[in-house]
Structure 1
Amino acid sequence: MVPAAFIALPAFPLTPNGKIDRNALPEPDYALDDSTYIAPGTPIETIMAGVWAELLGLDKVGRDDNFFALGGHSLLALKVTSLLQDRADIHVPVRLVFETKTLAELCSKIHGTDTLDDIQDLKTKAMEFLDHGQEAQLRPLIDEIIEKQRDYLQHWSGHRLKPDSLIVSLNETRPGPGLFWCLQGHNELSQLAAHLEMPVHGMRSGHMVMEYTSENVSAIAARYVAEMTAIQPAGDFIVGGNCQGGVIAREIAAQLQNLGRKISVLFLMEQSDFPPYREYVSLIFGQESFLNPYVADADPDVVFREAYRAGYSVDIISGGHGQFFESPNIESLTSVIKKQIRAISQSAGSNISISR
């Protein structure tokens, strides 16, 4: 048996007769280290994390966590498989719990979670599973964010897939791929749609709605991902975001990748942080913006090459921060978007097409 936890002690506590005083030994602390926590990225991971958290008495479980390192043992491993079967009708051989090193690896071995129908079914099960155990703590967080968003979105004009949808679409009847863009206001959405001959799906950022914690960003991104896959059940995605919206757009892209969906291009506009991303990125900065990294003697490409090893481009457009959705800056921005989409559509292996 491998110990579930290790505790360093300066010395063993002893009884008066010199034996180890087991009652005086400290309890293992299985609390997660937030600095290494990575939230579940797929519906099956959400379900699995909920099961582990409930059985292990933890507030949250990450996709890179090990069941036994968190305090699990053989009896609880059996309970994992039983609970998955009872709650979500998912069959997991108990041997997989022992053979895999992380929650993500375990979930990748489970059959029947890879087709579009499977994924849609798992999304429903994942949301239902939030009603059970420790994962129920996430539901008030998600509901609170969504409720605040609706206060801002109630006056946004455009097409909604359902009356309670958060994504608002313009040009939805136009041919070609849709652009999913995370932005702050309806004016930004209407300006993009007016200058792009393609469907534009607006996703409001968390401005004035939430703090930009990893949990909140993951929660709002998960809601957008669910709506995006319903709007576009097949094909490659084109995703982008400006300012705060870029942070959410990056998380949306990562969650879509974890669902097995491809992102043809991710537009990140006016960003100050550049965490690694495993597909192509189009970076956009304003010429007069304080976020323009190409100042005297600076070489931001050193950072970009390390973060975006699959490839990236940089475009400098006219305007300063907060001025990009007015003329002539909006024309400069949309010309970059058109150029990138055209280049991607003409590249080998692309699963998007555009009308000219």
Structure 2
Amino acid sequence: MPGIQHSTLLITIEGAMMLDITLPAIPGGAAQVLRWLADPGAALGAGAPLLIVRSEVAEVALPAPEAGGLAEILAPVGATVEEGRPLARLRPAGRQDRPAPARITPLAHRIAQAHGIDPAALAGSGADGRVVAADVRHSVGPKHAPNAIAASAELSAAHASPLPVATAMVEFDAGPALARCAAQGAEFGRLGLRANLTACVAAATAGLLPRHRSLNARWTEGGTLLRRRVHLAVAARDGERLTWALVRDAGDLTMRGVARALRAVSDPALGEATFGLVILADGDLWQSAPPPLAGTVAALGLGAPRRRAVACGDAVAVRPIATLSLSYDARALDHAHAAAFLRDLREDLERM
């Protein structure tokens, strides 16, 4: 699916400059507002998740088009909105009575910077007049003849721009999950399967992602594309390399079904993955968290349990404590989303 582009309209209300945020063109046309991710008065960063809408064929998280304050919600939850109709009003940060800046994709902006081109002087050919990479490249002529530095910068912008990855981590008591594995070990063994912490955490993660769909998603220049199906890529270290297994439709499987899928570790189609889980046998620090796979926005690292003395009420007990390290694309998620997912996963694992 191509990037979904926001449509906005600059207006003036009682002397204040506002942006009318309208429904962009998404597959299926008209869409219903499912959930607002910010309340009126909230301060938003450019690209911050703003609301979730659903058409007949897609469910999409729409971002704030630029930094500012959410002034007014015009389409409440449950409302059906046609393409181009207003969803909300944004009070842009620092904007007063000056023209709207050029609308430009991130890649086009980086290429323009590499060649010293002012995007405001370009006519955009993208949706809603947005300047795209092709517009910038077309404008490169004798005045902006590419030199070695500009060519290198453009190549870096197009192919080697690192993701803004952030990390969050929690510890959990692995005792209940290990006890469940021990209780089911004999039954799994008769089927040639392994009832281990990997299968347990993989099944719990897959079962939780439908409640945290912003993590089971793909980033596009126009916002975050949510997915309904959970295809979980699971990796364990084998010597100096990782061996992968792809658990398709993991959200529909029991722990036994996940364990069965984990036996297939030969060259899975990782391009289908919607979320990644890496077993960190020796690493449990945030530096060890795996980066998200291509086409995903988050990945989870599971550290090996270590027996530690912890406070249990008024007593002290020795428990197997493991870590969960979540790395995520900061364009698609914020720390609140990451922390909520880790908190719920910890509670699910400790209730087993």
TM-score normalised to structure 2 length: 0.26
Q: Which has the higher contact order (CA 8 A, sep 6+)?
A: 2
